[in-house]
Amino acid sequence: MLSFTLGILMFIVFLLELIVPSFTYWFAFIPSKAFVEPWRWVTSLFLHANFTHLFVNLFVFLQFAPLVERKVGSKGLLYVFFLSGIMGNLFYYLSYVMGLIGDVPGLGASGAISGLLGATMVFYPYLTLYLFFVIPMNIQMAFWLYVLWEFFNSFTMRYTGIGSAAHLGGAIAGYLYAKEVQHEIY
């Protein structure tokens, strides 16, 4: 499955970040360089700040990516992953333009993974998630609470190292993509 290949790619890129100190700088999404170095819109999706960041993203990615891939195939998974990740970077960029964050590098697959959450919610609306591994919650409720949380954090928190705007943009993109292709699947 392509979902596992993407996970392995994220891990390999993280190893490159550890081996080559400037690797992260050259490929992270830096808002002021977004249009002069356009590769950053995509390359940043495979970078991670530390092992915990990578572990959490891979854990969540491997929960949702195979489900989405079953519904839309490998090509569809790639599409929603990159669409959501790029839309996440666009929202991150807009938060920079609006003065909500400084010119802080953004990195990680969180925006893309948020899109996979949105797509999973559309394709599997009755799926139960376990919040904090204990509290059962319908994915629809979890998704909309997540969107509200990230929306609120995008406008009320100064940058804390968490790209709430990227998460929000990715979630919206994945949700809209899944709503658009849903009729083709069923």
Mean pLDDT over 85-97 rounds to 95
For residue 156, the model assigns a pLDDT of 73
pLDDT at 82 over 90: yes
pLDDT at 63 over 70: yes
Give the total number of structural domains in the chain.
1
Indicate which CATH number applies to the domain containing 170: 1.20.1540.10
For residue 160, the model assigns a pLDDT of 62
For residue 72, the model assigns a pLDDT of 96
For residue 161, the model assigns a pLDDT of 65
- Model-level pTM? 0.92
pLDDT at 159 over 60: no
d(CA 147, CA 161): 18
pLDDT at 147 over 90: yes
Virtual torsion, Cα 71, 76, 79, 82, nearest 10 deg: 50
Structural domain boundaries, residue 72 = 2-185
pLDDT at 117 over 90: yes
